[in-house]
Every structure is written in C-alpha cells, then in structure tokens.
Amino acid sequence: MRESTNQSIKPVTTKVNEKGNLEIGGCDLVELAEKYGTPLYVLDEVTIRSICKDYKDAFSSYPKINMMYASKALCTLATSAILSKEGFGFDVVSAGEIYTVYKSGAPMEKVLFNGNNKSFDELNLALDLGVGRFSVDNFLELSLLNEIAKSKNKTADILLRITPGIECHTHEYIQTGHLDSKFGFDLTQIDEAVDLILNEYTNLKLHGLHAHIGSQIFETKVYHDEIEILVKELARLDEKFSLKLDEINIGGGLGVKYTEKDLPPSTFEIADVIIKSLNASIEKYKIDPPTLFIEPGRSIISTAGVTLYTIGSSKQVPKGKKYIAVDGGMADNPRPSMYRAEYFAQIANKPETAAAEDVTIAGRYCESGDVLIDNIKLPLIEEGDILCVFNTGAYNYSMASNYNRVQKPQMVLVNNSQSDIIVMRETLEDLISHDVVPDRLKY
C-alpha cells in the first residue's frame, strides 16, 4: 500500500542546506527566525498540496465523493484559499470559521456547518451566506433552523448528525462517536427527528446522515463499522418513511505521525477500507450509492507546520532533569499540557550535530505544567539556538491563547524559497484593543 504525507513527521520539503541549517520550502529556518522573530509558525505549501493530492488519488475510484476540510484544525484566509483551489469544501463549526472561509473566496455551497450548540446568530449568518449543508445536532437546532429559514423564505439543506456508538482507541477528549458524547442524535432518536422534518419542519430538507468517530485515529476497522451503521440506517429510513436519502458523512479523524512510535495508516489504507466497506454495505442493504463526505483536518494540515522557538535559559535539577526554556510554550501549543501530546524537535542551526544530552523543553509561561517536550535527546544547546518543533500545523494556532498577556505568534507560508506572512504577529496594542475602562475608573 502506498505511503501518504500524513505518515511523515516532517514537511516533505525538509532538508539540511549548504549552511548546515534546516530548510523547509526552500527557506532557511534560522533565517526565517531572524527575519520574522520567534515563536514563529511556519507552513509548507507543498506539503499541504501533497496530502490533498493523496486524498484525491486515494478516493478516486468512488465516483460520488465530497472532500471537506475540517477548518477547526487551522483556519486562516490563506489556508482556506489553498484548500479551496485544491477542490476541497469546508466543515466549519462557528461564525468565525464561516466568515473566514467566505472572505477567502471559497464557494459557500461547498461548506457544511457542524457543531452541537449553534447560536441563532450563527445559523442566521450561515443561511445569509449560502452555506450548502447544516449538520443538525439536536432537536433544539431542528426547530431553530426551521424557524430562521422560514422567516427568510428559504429551505435549509441538512444532514442529521448521529452518535453511532463506536469508540476508537484515542484520547478520551477527542472521541466523539461513542454513546456517552455531547454530539449528535442517539440512534433511538432518529425516527422522531425524521418525523418532525417530514411533517412539521417544512423549511428543512434532509439529505442524509453524518457521524464522526474521533480524532488521531490509527485503526481502520472503525470506519468499516461506522459505514455499516450509516448505510443500514439509510435503508431502514427508506423502508419506514419511503425516504431515499443519498448522502453520508463519515467525518475525518485520520491520525498523523508526531513521533517515531506513531504508525498512522495512510490515506490509501483508509480509502481502501472505506470504499470496500461502502460498496459492500450498498450491496447488502440494496440502496443506491450515496454521495460520500469525508472531513479530514489534522491529516491535511498538521505535517505541513512547524514552530520555531529561540532557546533561552536552562536549569539542571540536582540529580534530576535538565530544563531548556524557549520563548513560547503552552499558549502557542496547548496540546502537551491538555492531553500529554508528544512532539519531535531538532535544533535548526545544528541538525546534524550528534545528540549529547537528554533535556526537557519548557515554555516561558507561569505554569509548572508548561512543558512542550518531556525528555528529548538533543545536541549540547546554547542560548540563542533555534528549536524547530515538527508537526504543529493542526490545533496549535487554532487553540492558541494570550495567557500571561503574551502576543500570539506570526505565521508564514513557505514555497519555492519564498516566505509570505499569512497571520501577523499580535502587538501590545492588539492585546488591549478590546479592553474598556469605565469612566468612573479613569484618572
């Protein structure tokens, strides 16, 4: 089976250049750090396009396929524009993601609005901007969306998100398909929802079912099980309601390789399982082939990203760890402190120097748990060295905060030896721009 880009720790253009520094997208990482400052998010455009091609090639044998990028992984104007030009639609979960995709110029009919507690304002915006699908999560949303659509004399095209009762072996915080989940209709609630849509909520048009089973998935059988449940439900609903639904959305969730011990399947492996399972279920339950939606997020963007830090102070604990501090940490990458996510890193200005000591990479924030990498073997480190942490394209910038009132980093896109700013570094003025001092407190 062919390998795919999500199975690499580093961006596909990574190499050591003639100066002995790490290079990505034809750009020297040490020079990028000098030019733009650190912390710095760096995205490799070739890697993004490479995984998009992997997905398109892997699923090319199934004729009715909609590729939807899960925007929560990383949502910017530039990344949305790239993915749109690669033919992807977008799975969005907020007004901010909807508006970003809209302003990027992406066609809104290829956007699906997902989420378990969409607000009136968000649903209103989505209808006004022409979002193509709503993945409806609960009974309240059914009623609210119908009411808003009716007030605009529109019909909202929807999928029902269901909880299939499948647990994948991933961190409990990123499991979404098991029965005890905040997401989706329980299987026992589907008939009631369908009855309401057919007989009462006449401004909603149901096209199919949506399920999502989790994130950072390394198993493939879970996709087989999910598809079996969805197709069986399509057949059952047709038999009970004479309702021929023609779309299923199986979510995303394919894992990536953060460290050498991670062994995610390739896009080609999961495509093989998904397409074979879908064709078998179609034959078994005697339905017409539905349009298949998939929603990769992490596996599209994570490998393309690295984060650069400048190394500062160090501390050797007597008979204990040696801590190396960098100028970022849990505010620009909260994943290690949230669920013990692990990363691989190199010193960008001496990537070929032999590893000499075990160190722990600590952040600069006022929390004992602000540790980016616990125990990694690196060359002897000096103040001012540039640390490159790999596979930070997903859920780093999108989950970043201003903890300790620190500005969020800049982001640059690299390609063909050119670097372009796609997210500006926040300024001190940005930090206070939304603060308001009541008149009674002013001097």
d(CA 87, CA 52): 9
Q: Which phi and psi (to 5°) does residue 270 adopt?
A: -70, -35
Q: What is the DSSP letter of 383?
A: T
Q: What is the CA angle 166-170-173, rounded to 5?
A: 90
Catalytic: which of 75, 168, 366, 388? 366
Pairing of strands 185-186, 111-113: unpaired
d(CA 408, CA 402): 6
CA dihedral sign, ordered 116, 135, 216, 361: negative
Give CB contacts under 8 A, 24+ apart, made by 19-22.
20/349, 20/350, 20/351, 20/352, 21/348, 21/349, 21/351, 22/346, 22/348, 22/349, 22/351, 22/388
Asked whether the beta carbons of 349 and 30 are under 8 A apart, the reply is yes
Q: What is the Cα gyration radius of the chain? A: 23
Nearest by Cα to 70 from 250, 329, 308, 339 = 250
CA dihedral sign, ordered 393, 395, 399, 405: negative
In the residue annotation, 168 being an active-site residue is answered as no
d(CA 330, CA 28): 25
Q: What is the CA angle 134-139-141, rounded to 5?
A: 40
The H-assigned helical ranges of 242-345 are: 267-285, 298-301, 335-339
- Helices H / strands E in the chain, number of each: 12, 21
- Most distant CA pair in the chain, distance: 76
118's tokens: 């969409």
Please list the active-site residues. 366
